[in-house]
Structure 1
Amino acid sequence: MTAREIVDRARAGDLDHETALDLLTGAPAAEADAALDAALAEQFDRLFRNGWQPLELHRAVARRGNPIQARLVTEAATAFLRGKDPVDERWRAQIPAPAHERKRQDRIAVLDASLDLLCELRRLPAIEVLIPPPGTADTTVHHHADRRILDRVRALLAKAEATDFPAEAETYSAKAQELITRYRIEEVTAPDVDVTPFARRIGVDHPYESEKASLLDAVARANTCRTVWSPELGFSTVFGFDADIEAVELLYTSLLVQANRAMTRDEPAKGKARVKAFRRSFLVAYAIRIGERLRQAAEREFAGHDLLPVLRNREVQVHEAMDRAFPRTVRARGRRVDSLEGWESGRAAADEAELL
């Protein structure tokens, strides 16, 4: 049996992993390497052409904890880019610069990781194309948020998260909120700016992915966006307008940092099951209360501006974009609360959290 036949049979499930690894180890090194490289290239090509972006695929693979596999994704993205035109700069920007030196990897470890990755990639489905892959043209032009505004917001949030003084954090967060709100109102009221909704995938890390996805959804809804949570892939797809999605991602990231800090501070000292129940309940309550606070804040900021028809029209467009990409979605069940102290602590932390 040739090395390519071994690889194909392993990929099809006709050979178990250990048997295939043993056979490849005994095959000529050049032949085995070429067979694995070709099979992996085929899978990477399929995924990159069918919606997967480099950072998304890298994150999905890196979650498995094997640095060899993560490196293979980076190398594959670089190879896929080579010789293709046109290239969307958003796609190109996701490929990190290659390391100057790479330690020599144990051959058996590389074979093992490559064979395992091949079977894992085969299971990944095609997903919605949000950024055109290299070599394909995109006819849609998105209106992007002002990077200068976003850089200033990031800087303010970084200071708010770093300080131990609540009053100082509130000052930084208030300035960030002022910038974001002003920009959103300007965009909504600008008569000469033609914008359309689009989508972005935001990774949701374990543990407690579903609860964190609920927090992201709460933040999104308060900013005229909608999310679709894909638990098997570890990300949520956020639909909305560019400035709104940028605000959602920045705010979600900041609030998650604050939630983790408060959760660690308040959690019970003993009992693994008790701590787990506390954390889940904390995050459920935190997401619900944050959603309430954000909606109230949005209503206050837009008061005095006759923007209801415009905002309603934007909501309709966002829903239509989501329905086109995900015509069949399932509403998630409400999260169970097993810890009253976690629930109460989560709501209290949400009341303390600094908002954009």
Structure 2
Amino acid sequence: MTAREIVDRVRAGEIDHETALDLLTGAPAAEVDTALQAALTEQFERLFRNGWQPLELHRAVARRGNPVQARLVAEAATAFLRGKEPVDERWREQIPKYQEKRHDRIAVLDASLDLLCELRRLPAIEILVPPPGTPLTKVPHHGDERILGRVRALLAKAEATDFPAEAETYSAKAQELITRYRIEEVTAPAVDVTPFARRIGVDHPYESEKASLLDAVARANTCRTVWSPELGFSTIFGFDSDIDAVELLYTSLLVQANRAMTRDEPARGKARVKAFRRSFLVAYAIRIGERLRQATEREFAGHGDLLPVLRKREIQVDAAMDKAFPRTVRARGRRVYSLEGWESGRAAADEAELR
């Protein structure tokens, strides 16, 4: 078989990458490189044309732990951009940075064949940002950067302090600021603002528990999420200023949760630590959701006239989610294996959250 035939069989799933590596090792290097580069380029272009954004694909590949493969994604995104107009700036800004580094040829060949097998299994996903060379869509209406800057500053202080009371105060002020801004946005003169979607990475370990935390934060801020566990991200639907706030809150609360979980977890026993962490995160997500909803309701108290407008926004968000994901499955409730972890997670949520 020629190098091209071997690579094509890998792409078709007819032979695994290790068998192909043995076959290609003795073939002419130039022939192998040309065939492999063409096959990878074809797969990258298929994915970029069908919804995958550079950082999403880079993250999906990088989480497999091979730096060579992560670099190949960055190079492919840069190459895909060349000569294509128009270009949505949101797509251009996602080009991953990478450093040129020499690797052993066999290591590169092995990583490339393995990546080819992985890429062919990735499906087309919802196009949220138009790929280069396609007509531009309406740019989402993001939140006021001054407000978001103040929220970031408050959450950074909550993450930095070792005192639960201080973290609680800073997080409370951040949520209050977010809700007040939403009230201002809702009461502002009518502008053409529609719901959008954004994908947020959910890292292992304990992905399902972290996805539940993201969903709890989203629901308290009039957003909805759909978790795709096989792809490692959740798609969040909402008005972009709300999504901005949800992403900031989720990231900060996850930092605070990890710090409290590490502080309180049992010292010994791998199984015991794992059960503790899962139970901790389940309890933390539930309690965070409760307290966020309470904080939001308090801020909206006295604004009963806004309820019809808020309900209309919720309906719009639900419609956007149903259009993109007409068939979804409700996640099953999380099991709790450690009472110690559950109680610690509830306590940590009270420390980190709102009053």
Q: TM-score, normalised by structure 2?
A: 0.96
1:5 is matched by which residue type in structure 2? E
Partner residue in 1 for 2:348: 349
For the Cα contact (< 8 Å) 1:53–1:91, is it kept in 2?
Answer: yes
Q: Secondary structure at the match of 2:226?
A: strand
Distance 2:333 2:171 in 1: 31
Picking from 144, 147, 150, the partner of 1:146 is: 144
Q: Secondary structure at the match of 2:331?
A: coil
Q: Which moved more, 1:43-52 or 1:165-174?
A: 165-174
Partner residue in 1 for 2:42: 42
Structure 2: runs of 5 or more not aligned: none
Q: CA deviation at 1:288?
A: 0.6
Q: Secondary structure at the match of 1:227?
A: strand
Deviations for 1:220-257, whole angstroms, at most 9, x for unmatched residues?
Answer: 10000000010000100000001111111111111111
Q: Which moved more, 1:123-132 or 1:89-98?
A: 89-98
Partner residue in 2 for 1:63: 63
For the Cα contact (< 8 Å) 1:251–1:355, is it kept in 2?
Answer: no
Q: Does 1:339 align with 2:338?
A: yes
Partner residue in 2 for 1:125: 123
Distance 1:97 1:337 in 2: 41
Q: CA deviation at 1:168?
A: 3.8
How does 1:1-356 map onto structure 2 within 5 Å? 1-99=1-99, 102-305=100-303, 306-355=305-354
For the Cα contact (< 8 Å) 1:280–1:337, is it kept in 2?
Answer: yes
Distance 1:123 1:249 in 2: 28
For the Cα contact (< 8 Å) 2:261–2:280, is it kept in 1?
Answer: yes
Structure 1: runs of 5 or more not aligned: none
Q: Which runs of 4+ in 1 moved over 6 A?
A: none
Q: CA deviation at 1:176?
A: 2.6
Q: Which moved more, 1:43-52 or 1:22-31?
A: 22-31
Distance 2:151 2:265 in 1: 31
2:8 is matched by which residue type in structure 1? D
Distance 2:25 2:334 in 1: 48
Q: CA deviation at 1:338?
A: 1.1
For the Cα contact (< 8 Å) 2:161–2:167, is it kept in 1?
Answer: yes
2:214 is matched by which residue type in structure 1? L
Distance 1:302 1:178 in 2: 10
RMSD after superposition:
1.4
Deviations for 1:108-148, whole angstroms, at most 9, x for unmatched residues?
Answer: 00000000000100000000000000111133342121122
Give the total of aligned pairs.
354
Distance 2:65 2:44 in 1: 19
Q: Secondary structure at the match of 2:175?
A: helix
Q: CA deviation at 1:190?
A: 1.0
Q: CA deviation at 1:269?
A: 1.3
For the Cα contact (< 8 Å) 1:204–1:235, is it kept in 2?
Answer: yes
Tell me: CA distance 1:291–1:23, structure 2 relative to 1, closer, same or farther (3 Å): same
Tell me: CA distance 1:174–1:341, structure 2 relative to 1, closer, same or farther (3 Å): closer
Deviations for 1:82-119, whole angstroms, at most 9, x for unmatched residues?
Answer: 111111111100113453xx221100000000000001
Distance 2:264 2:247 in 1: 26
Q: Which moved more, 1:69-78 or 1:137-146?
A: 137-146
2:80 is matched by which residue type in structure 1? F
Q: Which moved more, 1:286-295 or 1:141-150?
A: 141-150
Q: CA deviation at 1:160?
A: 1.8
For the Cα contact (< 8 Å) 1:187–1:193, is it kept in 2?
Answer: no
- The alignment-based identity, stated in percent, is 89
Distance 1:230 1:95 in 2: 23
1:206 is matched by which residue type in structure 2? H
For the Cα contact (< 8 Å) 2:216–2:288, is it kept in 1?
Answer: yes
1:340 is matched by which residue type in structure 2? L
Distance 1:39 1:92 in 2: 24
Q: CA deviation at 1:175?
A: 3.8
1:36 is matched by which residue type in structure 2? L
Q: Secondary structure at the match of 1:307?
A: helix
For the Cα contact (< 8 Å) 2:284–2:349, is it kept in 1?
Answer: yes
